[in-house]
A = this chain, B = another copy of it.
Amino acid sequence: MKKIINHPADVVDEMLDGMVYAYPQYVRRLEGLNVLTRTKAPTEKVALVSGGGSGHEPAHGGYVGRGMLDAAVAGAVFTSPTPDQIYEAVKAVNGGRGVLLIIKNYTGDVLNFEMAAEMADAEGIRVEKVVVNDDVAVENSTFTSGRRGIAGTLFVHKIAGAKAESGGTLDEVKAVAEKVIANVRSMGMAISPCTVPEAGKPSFVLKENEMEIGMGIHGEPGIQREPIQTADRIADRLLEKIFDDLRLSPGDETAVLINGLGATPLMELFIMNRRVAEVFAGKGIKIVKTYVGNGMTSLEMGGCSISVLKLDDELKQLLGAPAETPAFVQF
């Protein structure tokens, strides 16, 4: 294993400090916890808490700030955060109007966020939750019952965050988060593995010239391993599966995210985006906004995912609302 780290056991702790040092204007760390909250706590709004295993940076700490999350909870690498840490995050950001938990659909995450919600409930804090399951690759998978939650989660952060910032109630914020979840689909692929620091060896092995279509962001199995194809063909494959599940018609408006998994050069993501834009143009589907970059990574995995969000007027307006976080404009 060759990584720019100190001790494998310290990566999450040191990374969180490094984020706070880099972005003191946006985030601070709760004393003794792996929780980042906004530097300036807003008052009188519904609070949004997300999180999950580390290794997906800039998710989720990079999305803490005005117009998006109020707190992000970081677990160990590819490991759910514990209920007590989530509970502390909820307590820290609850401003009296309730807290929405945004959970990616992994069994451990769902369980631990639910336990935290129960702990908060017992303290009289009103908590609601949504579970993001945008990955159309496979039903059920390692760590997951149902579909996995991947990069489409960022659209939930952005849009529910804007709704909360504009004064929405907990029910309204939850409703718009669920509308995003109902309208976002993603699918990814990988060409090279990543190594969890404490494991010390790659989490999967691909042959030279082999790729996996539909691979998850922790290296969970996808649909098929096969010889790598051209970028255009890869884009077509991912889009076909997305379009099978998300019905789009000519004239529909969408937002698109071409997401790098950590080791994929921007050059390759732009080459993917070229094909995606051409396919959409051919179908007469409008792309209102495109994001290209490393928005939800898998350490140094090579590969990418495509996320497509079908917009309506409300989603479009909230997506375009201002946000100030370390990473939002970054992807």
Is the Cβ of B277 less than 8 Å from the Cβ of A18?
A: yes
**Which of B4, B55, B263, B292 is the one whose CB lies under 8 Å from A234?**
B4
Known: A2-B209, A21-B274, A277-B21. A299 touches B230 (CB 8 A): no
Identify the closest chain B residue to A268 (Cβ).
B4
Of the stretches A9-17, A38-46, A142-150, A218-226, the one at the interface is: A9-17
Answer yes or no: A186 CB below 8 A from chain B CBs.
no
**Which of B7, B17, B21, B291 is the one whose CB lies under 8 Å from A290?**
B21
Is the Cβ of B265 less than 8 Å from the Cβ of A300?
A: yes
Answer yes or no: A273 CB below 8 A from chain B CBs.
yes
**Which of B3, B192, B272, B276 is the one whose CB lies under 8 Å from A2?**
B192
Is the Cβ of B58 less than 8 Å from the Cβ of A273?
A: no
- Within A189-238, the residues touching B (CB, 8 Å) are 191-192, 208-209, 211, 228, 230-232, 234
Which of A228, A264, A293 has the most chain B CB atoms inside 10 A of its CB?
A: A293
**Which of B11, B54, B58, B304 is the one whose CB lies under 8 Å from A4?**
B304
Is the Cβ of A270 less than 8 Å from the Cβ of B15?
A: yes
Contacts of A300 in B (CB 8 A): 263-265, 302
A81 → B minimal CB distance (Å) = 16
Contacts of A258 in B (CB 8 A): 22
Answer yes or no: A33 CB below 8 A from chain B CBs.
no
Is the Cβ of B299 less than 8 Å from the Cβ of A267?
A: yes
Question: DSSP class of A's interface residues: helix, strand, loop or mixed?
Answer: mixed
Which of A269, A270, A291, A331 has the most chain B CB atoms inside 10 A of its CB?
A: A270
Is the Cβ of B265 less than 8 Å from the Cβ of A18?
A: no
Known: A23-B290, A270-B57. A297 touches B265 (CB 8 A): yes
What per-residue 1/0 map shows which CB atoms of A226-252 lie under 8 Å from chain B?
Answer: 001011101000000000000000000
**Which of B62, B234, B267, B269 is the one whose CB lies under 8 Å from A54?**
B267
- Within A247-305, the residues touching B (CB, 8 Å) are 258, 262-274, 276-278, 287, 290-294, 297, 299-300, 302-304
Contacts of A7 in B (CB 8 A): 230
Is the Cβ of A231 less than 8 Å from the Cβ of B329?
A: no
Q: How far is the CA of A290 from the CA of B303 in the complex (A)?
A: 28
Q: How far is the CA of A258 from the CA of B326 in the complex (A)?
A: 14
- Within A289-331, the residues touching B (CB, 8 Å) are 290-294, 297, 299-300, 302-304, 329-331
Q: Write the residues of chain A forming the contact surface with B, with a CB cutoff of 8 angstroms.
A: 2-7, 11, 14-19, 21-23, 54-55, 57-58, 62, 191-192, 208-209, 211, 228, 230-232, 234, 258, 262-274, 276-278, 287, 290-294, 297, 299-300, 302-304, 329-331
6 A-B residue pairs with Cβ-Cβ distance under 8 Å, sorted by A, are: A6-B230, A11-B267, A11-B271, A16-B270, A21-B274, A266-B297
